[in-house]
Structure 1
Amino acid sequence: MSASRLRESEVRIAHSLNRNEEQFVVKRRKDVLQSLARLGIRCSQDKVPNIALLGSGGGQRAMVGLLGCLDQLDKAGLLDCVLYLSGVSGSTWCMASLYQEPDWSTKLQTVKDRIFRRIGGPAVSWSDAYAKMKEYYSEKDYFTLTDVWAVLVVTTFVKEIDESTPSDQREQHKKDPFPIFTVIDKQCKQSGDGDPWFEITPRETGYSLTGAFVSSPSFCSQFENGRKVKRQPEVDMLYLQALCGSALADGIEIAKFLWEKIKEFFRHLLRVMIEEMEREDPMFGPIQKCSQVLLELADMNICVLNGQNPTALDRSIRIKLKELSGGKRQFIFQVEKLIVPDKRDARLNMNQYTLDVCTYLQSLQLEWPVDISMWMRINVCMALWIWGRNYNFLHNMTDRAIPPAQRTSDTRDYEDAGLLLNSPYLSVLRKERNTDLIISLDFSEGDPFMTVRGAAETCRKLNIPFPQVKIPDQDIKKPKDFYVFKGKNTPTVIHIPLFNVVNCGDQLEDWRNEYTTNQRAYSTQKITDLMTVAGKNISNNKGRLMQQIRAIIE
């Protein structure tokens, strides 16, 4: 590619840091040197270690746990030694809250108390949630279940609608660790072709290992061979939290949960619409009847997911569709095919039924209001299970450094990185970030060593330097609170499981059972208790953390 062509491209293809991150790193390393000196750790500027702090996924458990750990790192004087803060899924919910506040790490106690009051407080109002949902639907070319998840689910945990954007943070965090939010490319994950590891920072967004990036405000805009051809709104932090934190959006139980949330949301909307409409309005009857069809369609999906007979709901839907169309012939999936022994076939057939009903409603010569059109679109997304779809900024690029699989499609689907690896190791293992020490805070449910072992195996396959991971057999079910893995020419990795025999004692299983992933928003008492137990993993190990920092310098 010629130099002139490179200058024209808005996509940066390079295995290097962007200029702004390079400048940040230089300044941050000077601050780290001063922080090490305050801790009594002597070091020259060129020996300052690059330390990355990782927060795993784990829903609200990860959100609260990370806040508790950061609180204790701050009190120990270690937070100012961290160069990068990277998160997956629920940890990004905590990060989003922190990075609302300029230079949050200089006043963490105040910021922490503010976050605590918010997440322990009242939920977002229905009217605010509805306005946000409508904004997402109206302003973007691709409206998917990620938008729905943001409004209906993420807000129930973070208790706010954060409309700031990643680029808003560019000049606000000169004294904080550099934030890296991570997701994965679904198509790359499924096919095994290309680079699935994707990162979003205040400056750039793109593929970590391929080295293909675009300015963060341009992520989601339409590109053709490196040039922006159609602008889309920059993602806001609420949407980003949904994009990063949708690992829950996997499986039958979550589909049922989401159908129930959608039904509840639009039942409320229907009441508001009916109250505001004049009964003489010629669309009053059709809108009311269409809404009833869509509510029954949600019930029918739940019915099939539960393995129940949907015949009565099908009959009711067909009658209403006939009344709406004035007897027009219906081309809708046969209900008999929803009553089959194979539950997977029944679900797939129900998806087709849902698409047929929505297509039929859209084919009627009726001017549906935006609320109804949005409702239909959500049904289509549920049937096709579309999450995180956005324009592909690598579309039709000619640079051979980009895998062909990532250049051909006009769109890509992005999802929670926890569905591939529940900790953001790959973001800080980019060679150009020169990471010396990784502190991995693991808030995962289940196997407390899955993430670090998964990272080791992934790095082995990709030829990325990573220490060998060996876990004593006796620790698998009863993990300790601090593990160190080292290797030749590899970063040192410290692995800290959230619940362990040190901070939980003989109540390890009780803590795990109390803080499972799929549950309602925590009470203030549960938030307090979790922050305390998570913080002990830092306060109990301050000396060990400092010892490992010294070992890297020496």
Structure 2
Amino acid sequence: MSASKLQESGDVRIAHSLHTKEEEFVVKRREIVFQSLQKHEIHCSQNKVPHIALLSSGGGQRATVGLLECLVQLDKAGLLDCILYLSGVSGSTWCMASLYQEPDWSTKLETVKDNIIKRLSGPGVSWGDAFAKLKKYYNGKDFFSLTDIWAAIVVTTYMKEIDEHTLTDKWSQLGKDPFPIYTATDKQSKQEEGGDPWFEISPHEAGYSLSGAFVETSNFGSQFDNGSKKKHQAEIDMLYLQALCGSALAGEDSKEFIWGKIQDFLKHSRPTKEIMFEEMKEDPNSPPVEKWYQVLMDLVDMNLCVLNVKDPSALDQSIRTMLNDLAGGKSQLIFPTQKLNLADKEAAKLYMKQYTEDVCNYLSQFSLGPFDIFLSICRCMALWIWGRNYNFLHNMTDESVPSALLRSETRDFEDAGLLLNSPYFSVLRKERDIDLIISLDFSEGDPFMTVREAADRFKKLNISFPEVNIPSEDLEKPKDFYVFKGQNAPTVIHIPLFNVVNCGDEVEAWRNKYRTFQGPYSAEKITEVMEVAGKNISNNREKLKEQIAAVVGKKAHN
């Protein structure tokens, strides 16, 4: 089937153009931007309204609440209505998901902010509710991955809610807010020569920013063949979307943290476990419940033991004995033949991967009823599967799309921050015609890494981006406002969260106090981060207006 016919069918769209509904939105939003500019006495013709994108980096809950307060301060400065696009990575997408729950949030932002902070400071989701949500994911999809687990037992811990709305059903109620773009990374494409790892999800379509290959957002996750939908899957909900975009621990070094979360989940969801025990007792073919549960706990504990370089032999023996008992003394389980060598960390990880797979594969022959979900969790951990979904480009033959994207039936998606911790690629599609980028950087560590990496990557891709030169004395003592300009490139404003203006000589102390991978912030910590983040906007109101006026002048001249 030709590309043009595929586009007409509405299934898969291969084109370097905006979705027609996004184009329609831009026309309406430009009128709001125009009116806002007039109020600030920044004059331009209606066909020269600048396209301004607000980008927000990842950074866990630091980015979530930091972005929220920056938006509040932009609103107070009368500049929020100048923003055409709002795009985020990781923790920033958690803030976006909360905002866009409320129709036209930008018209009542102070109230919306108070409601979000009240929730984030309040009680968390119960273990029972988290498990019920995990079961919905497990039973309702063709692919179950660590992203489902991350959504149910980690994102809920931070966001204190289970958001089952979808991006498309909420957007149908909206109209007066910046256009939201959520970002993720195609994991395989990161590792493939000539791949396209940059993946965006908007209210209208999801797809590859560089290749120009998209599917309707409501169909992302459905099964496609040669551009046509074969099997429908329900649209992903906002909780899963937050996990997909905010899975920064999908890096290999985080297994200890996630095994620990699974261990906590098993230990603290006793009521859930007892319900499952009752369900399994009704099945005469199920093995003794307590023994099965103990095998599961021992397997989790053994993985943690090895990751902490501790001798797991007692747990290993317990698992072998228990499995032998479950099989009536005739266990056919074949364990890894090589010996566990704790001194060699990589070899030990591979041993436990195989060991965990072997135990899971062996147990899958039993009728384990509701415990099957925990078997799948352990298998996902062994295989390290994140964000697995059907590939909507499977079996297409379009030459404009990297061939590797066309071959596989599935693709795995993870946090875009694992590739570049700011969503520059989403807004720098040529057809979005961006004139000014305001980049809020909530990154941990080097506060200039994202903007420098973006400049390097765009140079290699021949995409216009200004030169980025940072004074050497600023590397350790960053200021709160940087402007980078180029002849045929958008202007980029870069704003590091912690800087010498809002933190004085305590920049490093602030960074250490607010690490990315901490537990949920207390009300006091939320307030502190918001105050610091807000100053970066309130202290620079006039500078922001000057740069907006400058791009208006540049656009008029061009």
**Normalised-by-shorter TM-score class:** over 0.9
Runs of 5+ in structure 1 lacking a partner? Answer: none
Is 1:304–1:338's contact at 8 Å kept on the other side of the alignment? no
Which residue does 2:434 correspond to in 1? 435
User: 1:341 pairs with 321, 340, 343, which one?
Assistant: 343
Is 2:7–2:14's contact at 8 Å kept on the other side of the alignment? no
Which residue does 1:537 correspond to in 2? 536
Q: What CA distance in whole angstroms lies between the structure 2 residues aligned with 1:506 and 1:272?
A: 50
Runs of 5+ in structure 2 lacking a partner? Answer: 554-558
Which residue does 2:352 correspond to in 1? 350
Which residue does 1:70 correspond to in 2? 71
Change over 3 Å in CA distance of 1:499–1:32 after alignment to 2 = same
Q: Which amino acid aligns with 1:348?
A: L
Deviation string, structure 1 residues 33-81 (Cα, Å, up to 9, x no partner):
0001111211211221000000000000000110110010000000000
Structure 1 stretch displaced more, 323-332 or 517-526:
323-332
Shift of 1:182: 0.3
Is 2:250–2:414's contact at 8 Å kept on the other side of the alignment? no
Is 2:145–2:386's contact at 8 Å kept on the other side of the alignment? yes
Q: What CA distance in whole angstroms lies between the structure 1 residues aligned with 2:225 and 2:356?
A: 34
Matched, 1:255 2:258: no
Is 2:306–2:342's contact at 8 Å kept on the other side of the alignment? no
Q: What CA distance in whole angstroms lies between the structure 2 residues aligned with 1:2 and 1:272?
A: 50
Deviation string, structure 1 residues 83-141 (Cα, Å, up to 9, x no partner):
00000000000000000000000000000000010001100111111110000000000
Which residue does 1:132 correspond to in 2? 133
Change over 3 Å in CA distance of 1:311–1:177 after alignment to 2 = same
Which residue does 1:264 correspond to in 2? 264
Which residue does 1:16 correspond to in 2? 17
Q: How does 1:394-405 map to 2 (within 5 A)?
A: 394-405=393-404
Change over 3 Å in CA distance of 1:151–1:97 after alignment to 2 = same
Which residue does 1:289 correspond to in 2? 291
DSSP 3-state at the match of 2:407? coil
Matched, 1:330 2:332: yes
Q: Which amino acid aligns with 1:526?
A: K
Matched residue count:
550
| TM-score when normalising by structure 1 | 0.97
Shift of 1:335: 7.8
Q: Which amino acid aligns with 2:295?
A: V
Shift of 1:170: 2.7
Which residue does 2:391 correspond to in 1? 392
Shift of 1:281: 6.3
DSSP 3-state at the match of 1:277? helix
Change over 3 Å in CA distance of 1:280–1:43 after alignment to 2 = closer
Which residue does 2:39 correspond to in 1? 38
Is 1:222–1:392's contact at 8 Å kept on the other side of the alignment? yes
Change over 3 Å in CA distance of 1:272–1:104 after alignment to 2 = closer
Q: What CA distance in whole angstroms lies between the structure 2 residues aligned with 1:139 and 1:244?
A: 20
Is 1:57–1:444's contact at 8 Å kept on the other side of the alignment? yes
Q: What CA distance in whole angstroms lies between the structure 1 residues aligned with 2:415 and 2:72?
A: 26
Change over 3 Å in CA distance of 1:540–1:339 after alignment to 2 = same
Shift of 1:405: 0.5
Deviation string, structure 1 residues 124-171 (Cα, Å, up to 9, x no partner):
111111110000000000010000001111111111111011111332
Shift of 1:338: 1.9
DSSP 3-state at the match of 2:206? strand
Which residue does 2:302 correspond to in 1? 300
Change over 3 Å in CA distance of 1:431–1:282 after alignment to 2 = same
Is 1:338–1:347's contact at 8 Å kept on the other side of the alignment? no
Q: What CA distance in whole angstroms lies between the structure 1 residues aligned with 2:60 and 2:231?
A: 34
Q: How does 1:119-198 map to 2 (within 5 A)?
A: 119-198=120-199
Q: CA RMSD in A?
A: 1.5
Deviation string, structure 1 residues 420-441 (Cα, Å, up to 9, x no partner):
0000000000000000000000
Change over 3 Å in CA distance of 1:282–1:134 after alignment to 2 = same
Q: What CA distance in whole angstroms lies between the structure 2 residues aligned with 1:519 and 1:4?
A: 50
Which residue does 2:477 correspond to in 1? 478
Q: What CA distance in whole angstroms lies between the structure 2 residues aligned with 1:419 and 1:334?
A: 32
Q: What CA distance in whole angstroms lies between the structure 2 residues aligned with 1:494 and 1:281?
A: 63
Is 1:270–1:291's contact at 8 Å kept on the other side of the alignment? no
Q: What CA distance in whole angstroms lies between the structure 1 residues aligned with 2:274 and 2:119?
A: 33
Is 2:181–2:201's contact at 8 Å kept on the other side of the alignment? yes
DSSP 3-state at the match of 2:292? helix
Q: What CA distance in whole angstroms lies between the structure 2 residues aligned with 1:248 and 1:145?
A: 10
Deviation string, structure 1 residues 406-431 (Cα, Å, up to 9, x no partner):
00000000010000000000000000
| TM-score when normalising by structure 2 | 0.96
Shift of 1:5: 5.1
Q: How does 1:371-450 map to 2 (within 5 A)?
A: 371-450=370-449
DSSP 3-state at the match of 2:339? helix
Q: What CA distance in whole angstroms lies between the structure 1 residues aligned with 2:360 and 2:506?
A: 51
Matched, 1:80 2:84: no
Structure 1 stretch displaced more, 38-47 or 537-546:
38-47
Change over 3 Å in CA distance of 1:335–1:306 after alignment to 2 = farther
